[in-house]
Amino acid sequence: MSAVATLLDEATLWVSERGYDQWPMPFPPDEIEAAIERGEVYVAELDDDVVATVTLLWEDELHWGERPPDAAYVHKLAVSRARAGQRIGQTIVEWAEATAAANGRAFLRLDCHRTNPGIRRYYEQLGFVHCADEVIAGRDLSLYERPVHARSH
């Protein structure tokens, strides 16, 4: 759990230094622990180091409303700043897409800060399409999705 908390706090600090409010700092350990216990939190390792984390949900009524079970939802994607630029985030999104496809989902969805052009551009370059803007719990967000493409092996 401490590696996940460290990655989320590092990402929050980096984003806040650029003028954007990301997540609470420090990230509440009880929230991390509960998500881990529910099996929603994943980590990526390189050379025995945890270098990234992501939370993958199968529903997200808070951000997307009540919907049929047609998507997987990416949350709290954070990559170690020491490993930035190595396409780790892209690899995690591809893994999330493959996981969604394996579970019969048609879309991968996420939300990000509407006022942060850098993160929006990043997700758009990964094939996500802007769907809507929402203010949820005081946060100004943009909702994105991309279709899941089943990969044949």
Is 104 among the domain residues? yes
| Residue 62 belongs to domain with CATH number | 3.40.630.30
Cα separation, 68 vs 24, in Å, equals: 30
Is 16 among the domain residues? yes
DSSP letter (8 states) at residue 18: T
> pTM for the complete prediction?
0.93
Q: What is the pLDDT of residue 25?
A: 86
Please write the tens of the pLDDT for every residue from 103-121. 999 999 999 999 999 999 9
Is 19 among the domain residues? yes
What does each C-alpha distance from 108 to 37, 56, 73, 92, 103 come to in angstroms?
A: 23, 10, 6, 12, 12
Using only C-alpha atoms, the chain has a radius of gyration, in whole angstroms, of 15
- Sheet hosting strand 71-79, strand order edge to edge: 41-46, 49-57, 71-79, 107-113, 139-147, 129-136
Is 74 among the domain residues? yes
Q: Which two tokens stand for residue 37?
A: 């216990």
Q: Cis before residue 24, ω within 30 degrees of 0?
A: no
Please write the tens of the pLDDT for every residue from 30-77. 999 999 999 999 999 998 999 999 999 999 999 999 999 999 999 999
For residue 60, what are the domain limits?
2-110
Per the structure, how many domains does the chain have? Answer: 1
Is 152 among the domain residues? no
Q: What is the pLDDT of residue 153?
A: 45
Is 131 among the domain residues? no
Q: Which two tokens stand for residue 135?
A: 């203010």
Q: Is the dihedral of CA 30, 42, 16, 64 positive or negative?
A: negative
Please write the tens of the pLDDT for every residue from 5-32. 999 999 999 999 998 888 888 999 999 9
Is 118 among the domain residues? no
Is 106 among the domain residues? yes
